[in-house]
Amino acid sequence: MHIAQHISLLPYNTFGIDVEASLFAGVSNLSDLQHIPASQPVYILGGGSNVLLSGPVNGLVLQNRLKGISIQQEDDKNVWLEAASGEVWHQFVLYAIDHGWGGLENLALIPGTVGAAPIQNIGAYGAEVKDTITQVTFWHLEEQRFITYSNGECRFGYRDSIFKNELKGKAFITSVVYKLSKHPVLNTSYGAIEQELSVMQVTEPTVKDIAAAVIRIRTSKLPDPKVTGNAGSFFKNPTIARSQYESLLHQFPAMPHFPVSNELVKVPAAWLIEQCGWKGYRKGDVGVHDRQALVLVNLGHASGNEIWQLSGDIIASVVARFGIELEREVQVW
């Protein structure tokens, strides 16, 4: 493993923030992990699509380049597909779809790597990756050994897992096993999927059609990071007590919500942000996307700190108006 010094991270993060890492190395083999020097902080980077680089990174940035997909096991109904963590997520989804295997089609076109998917339990269009993951294997940086966790041990939650909590910064995920279906049950109920399928004139959809519909919707709604720097949704949708929701409803009768349980409801963060007037906001090179208020954008040469400050201003204004504190989804370095 070659460790380089003073490397610009501009090509390695979708926000397009230009800061340096004091040390940088690519991890291409599992054996590289045993040679990580313990003398400085370590930062693990996949596709850089869920990080905000708030300033220069003083430490060793390890870019994940582990590759490989193989069948771990199969029977008449399912296939257990193991993918190395550096595989590009969307390419992996396409691989499954090309074989007609179901489970990942609603998660098409999410940027990033296979290994980052369990970190925040990626989700979109009514699906979460936790519903297909059976195993996650990682290198424990402190204990210097490989460990495999079952789905339950990963403690998945909404955009959450043990890797964002107890194991934050301690685990380099090396591979993930996904249980996919050979007889997929399609999930078309969420968002505009059904509508898009009818525009596509598809009456009996396959997994490929679902992915194609999701790709069409995402492309029309979300900014392409190659054109406009962004990290997708910057904030999580907040979960609040039903009683708080009901009292807010008197003041804001149009407030949308999704039930989580008898006591809890989720409120779309995009709606809250939009109500505070942020949609389409721009100050210098930072802004809020004009079609999706959850997405903060770098419109040129914004610094990570400017984006951080804008996110703080948004959080403060939502607290002031609704008494709800938004939580950042993006990992801040």
Ligand X SMILES: Cc1cc2nc3c(=O)[nH]c(=O)nc-3n(C[C@H](O)[C@H](O)[C@H](O)COP(=O)(O)OP(=O)(O)OC[C@H]3O[C@@H](n4cnc5c(N)ncnc54)[C@H](O)[C@@H]3O)c2cc1C
Answer yes or no whether residue 171 interacts with ligand X by CB under 6 A. yes
Q: Is 285 helix (H, G, I), strand (E, B) or coil?
A: coil
Of 48, 102, 184, 304, the one binding ligand X by CB under 6 A: 48
Is 291 catalytic? The answer is no
Choose which of 16, 26, 46, 205 interacts with ligand X (CB under 6 A): 46
Amino acid identity, position 106: N
How near is the Cβ of 51 to ligand X at its closest, in Å? Answer: 4
Residue entry with tokens 């959080």:
315
311 catalytic? Reply is: no
Stretch that binds ligand X, among 111-119, 187-195, 268-276, 296-304 (CB under 6 A): 111-119
Say how far apart CA 79 and CA 266 lie, in whole Å: 34
Task: Let me know: does 255 contact 323? Beta carbons within 8 Å.
Answer: no
Region of 276 please: left (phi>0), alpha (psi -120 to 50) or beta.
alpha
- What is the CB-side half-sphere exposure of residue 296 using CA atoms within 13 A? 33
Pick between residue 47 and residue 322 the one whose CB is nearest to ligand X: 47
Q: Which is nearer to ligand X, 316 or 332 (CB)?
A: 332
Helix or strand (DSSP H, E) at 98: helix 89-98
Q: Does 222 bind ligand X (CB under 6 A)?
A: yes
Tokens matching residue 9: 């991270």
Rg of the chain over Cα atoms, rounded to whole angstroms, equals 20
Determine if 269 is a binding residue for ligand X (CB under 6 A): no
Identity of the residue, 113 or 188, whose beta carbon is nearer to ligand X in the bound complex = 113
Binding region for ligand X (CB under 6 A) out of 16-24, 40-48, 191-199, 307-315: 40-48
- Distance CA(77)–CA(84), nearest Å, equals 23
By CB under 6 A, name the one of 23, 50, 237, 304 that touches ligand X: 50
- C-beta separation of 117 from 108 below 8 A: no
Question: Catalytic one among 20, 82, 159, 311?
Answer: 159
Nearest to 222 by CA among 124, 169, 292, 174: 292
Task: Determine if 9 is a binding residue for ligand X (CB under 6 A).
Answer: no
Interaction between residue 102 and ligand X (CB under 6 A): no
Sketch the per residue contact string, 120 through 159, with ligand X: x for CB under 6 A, - otherwise.
x-xxx-----------------------------------
Q: Is 329 a catalytic residue?
A: yes
The binder of ligand X chosen from 231, 276, 297, 326 (CB under 6 A):
231
**What is the CB neighbour count within 10 angstroms for residue 333?**
22
Q: Does 44 engage in binding with ligand X (CB under 6 A)?
A: yes
Instruction: Check if the beta carbon of residue 211 is closer than 8 Å to that of residue 218.
Output: no
Binding site for ligand X (CB under 6 A): 14, 44-51, 64, 85, 110-113, 115-117, 119-120, 122-124, 171-173, 222, 225, 230-232, 331
Supply the residues annotated as catalytic: 159, 233, 329
